[in-house]
Structure 1
Amino acid sequence: MFVLSSKITIGGFSFSGVMNARINRSVHSAADACNLMLPSLARVKRKNGGTSAVETLSNVFAEGDKIKVELGYNGQLKTEFEGFVKGLMPGDQLTIECEGYNRLLRLNKNLKGFYASTSVKELLDKAVKGTEIELYVQDDIALKNITLDNAGGTDIISEIRKICQNVITIFFITPKKLWCGLTYTAYHEGVDPFAIGGVKYRIGYNCMRDNRLKIKTPSEPVQVLFGGTLATGRRIATESEKKVLGNKVKAINNNIPDVANMKRIANEMQYQKNYTGFEGRISGYLQPYCQPGYKMYIQDSRYPESAGFYMAESTEVTFGTSGAWRNVEVGPKMSFKS
């Protein structure tokens, strides 16, 4: 028999049991999020050894308090979220809005300067400087003519994504470790770029037989044409490796200084648009444990030819009085053809 278990730590207080919890994480976002719903009143015992007393919880917790959420079955807990309290919304119940270590990036402001020649890694180093965050850049991209004007860490990430046509992956691979790289290129090459864990799902066995999961194949493959202009006025251009007839996508940016780096972004764009894999999500229980970036082995008796390793792109965990679920968005298949 499986009995739901939880441990919530906020500031200096720990407790088990929560009315509702929802946790969202994704390889496509550095903004991990968690919402908790608690009773507005609870008996609180403080560490100074005093007697416990009923208190209004919105007066017990505060914005900026560190939070850790552990969930599981029969006392066997896994960490699902670490971060900070972002806001408290009192009412008949207390809703606590929480954010991950993206908070430290958001508050790391006043970054200024003009950088004629720089890189993704150099800019992200500035974004995390002075925080608890560890940075790991697997795929660096050269950049030019970047202006920061009272920018915060999250502004820097947004600017990098914009320059890289929103295809570069920047997310918290662990609560305090920010990861950056070209994810779809790695999966196309048969490499797990994250190497943080794996999980096996058998559709209809340890997860629901859910019609929201469908095979994805590019019916109309695209080729990416990428161009820009140097400071001298000379135009440079390149294209993604896979040549197709008719269906072309154009991208223009003047902050990437050379053809080689443009081509890397063009290829990543093409792989994101043309990948073979699953589309949709798997709905399962808290176990097996899975986080964004996990390498998933999926078996589905309806599509035996589709068995293989896939990327977990995002997770949504819900936990409460009505049960607990983990929804996993599935992405490209390992070694997919574009």
Structure 2
Amino acid sequence: MFTLKCEIKIGSYTFYSVQEVKIKRSLHSFVDTAFITIPASAAIRYTGKLPTKSVFSSADQFAEGNKVEIWLGYDDDRQLEFEGFVKRINAASPCVIECEGYSWQLQQKGVLDSNKTIELKKLLTKITEGTDIILSDEIPDLNLNQAYFTGKTGTDILDWLKKDLYMNVYFEGKLLYAGFDHMQSPKAGVYARGRKATDPLSYRTIENNASYKIGDTVIKDDELKFRKASDAQVLVKAIYIDKKNQPHTAEAGDANGAETTLHISHFEDRKALQKAAENKLSTLKYDGYEGKLIAFLQPFAFPGCKAKISDDKFTARNGTYRIESTEVTFGASGGRRIAEIGIKI
């Protein structure tokens, strides 16, 4: 029989019991969040020189900026569901510790930078300098124009890339991606029993798909709807106006479809314009699922992983799909993973 286990590291403390944990991660957001609920008073293991330390007030033991790791699973098969920092502590009863992923470090970092033109990778290197953030090697080569930032934070710039340049911007732990695709090789932390919070993490590439069988290993799937690309007639236009007031346009989709227009003023690369149009089209027109399914903690999966879905009633829908977001809950009532399913791969 499998037993649910947790291992939570906050600062120098590690504890193996918790009232409740809630975690949210998404390909559509660069802010990962977690909420850890513990009793207002608790006994917490200290992983420094002293082996243990009894505490009376849980809230007094933690501080904003403490590093956080949340490992959940069954028996010794524990997976790294979240890594980040303490953002806020609600010193009520029970005590709720609000955590944020590595975007938290960028919220603390002010940026004063003006560039007539700058490479995307160089801009991201500047805003992540002095943090623990690692840039993905899959970030595309792209020159940005008129990148002027005054009184902005690092997260303001990520928001600018996402909203004004229509890029996909998200974290995978401490790994940051920005571009028009998604990281192709998701990685997860490797569990090591007895590892101290100050010890470095090692990572592994996720090679196996998460398998879900509708009506069997899936607890609930009534929010999951199948959609076909042929059901939507859409045309996306990405437009850049150059210095001579001449428009440059890239199109993706159906010639006579309902038009969606992207006005982009910070790059004129023709290939990038085309990628921006195709990226937007992929959110409007695709073969795949729309909605979420509820399953147990296993199989382990997170945004960017692949889900292999089988359905005996609708075999035509069997296939491999991209996981867009996950919501993980853990507590006395058990562990659940809500996975948002997207495009068919």
- TM-score calculated relative to the size of structure 1: 0.89
Offset at residue 28 of structure 1 (A): 1.1
* 3-state DSSP of counterpart to 1:104: helix
In the alignment, is residue 273 of structure 1 matched against residue 264 of structure 2? no
CA separation of 1:44/1:293 partners in 2, compared to 1, >3 Å: closer, same or farther? closer
Deviations 1:91-139 (A, max 9, x none): 12100000111111211213321x2222332221222122111101433
Equivalent AA in structure 1 for residue 180 of structure 2: L
* 3-state DSSP of counterpart to 1:233: coil
Structure 2 counterparts to residues 92-171 of structure 1, below 5 A: 92-113=93-114, 115-136=115-136, 137-165=138-166, 168-171=167-170
Could you tell me which residue of structure 1 aligns to residue 178 of structure 2? 180
Q: Are the equivalent residues in 2 in contact too, given 1:275–1:332 (CA < 8 A)?
A: yes
Structure 2 counterparts to residues 1-338 of structure 1, below 5 A: 1-44=1-44, 46=46, 47=48, 49=50, 52-113=53-114, 115-136=115-136, 137-165=138-166, 168-173=167-172, 175-183=173-181, 193-196=184-187, 197=206, 198-218=209-229, 219-240=231-252, 242-334=253-345
Residue identity over aligned pairs, in percent, reads 31
Offset at residue 53 of structure 1 (A): 3.9
Distance 2:52 2:180 in 1: 55
Distance 2:225 2:290 in 1: 5
Distance 1:149 1:110 in 2: 7
Distance 2:269 2:124 in 1: 20
Q: Flag as ranges the 4+ runs of structure 1 deviating above 6 A.
A: none
* 3-state DSSP of counterpart to 1:110: strand
* 3-state DSSP of counterpart to 1:41: coil
Q: Are the equivalent residues in 2 in contact too, given 1:87–1:96 (CA < 8 A)?
A: yes
Distance 2:56 2:123 in 1: 45
CA separation of 1:251/1:76 partners in 2, compared to 1, >3 Å: closer, same or farther? closer
| Structure 2: gaps (5+ residues) | 188-205
Deviations 1:48-94 (A, max 9, x none): 54985441111111111111111111232111111111111011210
Equivalent AA in structure 1 for residue 158 of structure 2: I
Offset at residue 310 of structure 1 (A): 0.6
Distance 1:91 1:163 in 2: 40
CA separation of 1:271/1:118 partners in 2, compared to 1, >3 Å: closer, same or farther? same
Offset at residue 271 of structure 1 (A): 1.9
| Structure 1: gaps (5+ residues) | 187-191
* 3-state DSSP of counterpart to 2:110: coil
Q: Are the equivalent residues in 2 in contact too, given 1:224–1:249 (CA < 8 A)?
A: yes
Equivalent AA in structure 1 for residue 293 of structure 2: I
Could you tell me which residue of structure 1 aligns to residue 198 of structure 2? none
Which shifted more, 215-224 or 306-315?
215-224
Q: Are the equivalent residues in 2 in contact too, given 1:85–1:99 (CA < 8 A)?
A: yes
Distance 2:286 2:78 in 1: 35
Q: Are the equivalent residues in 2 in contact too, given 1:223–1:243 (CA < 8 A)?
A: yes
Distance 1:127 1:10 in 2: 26
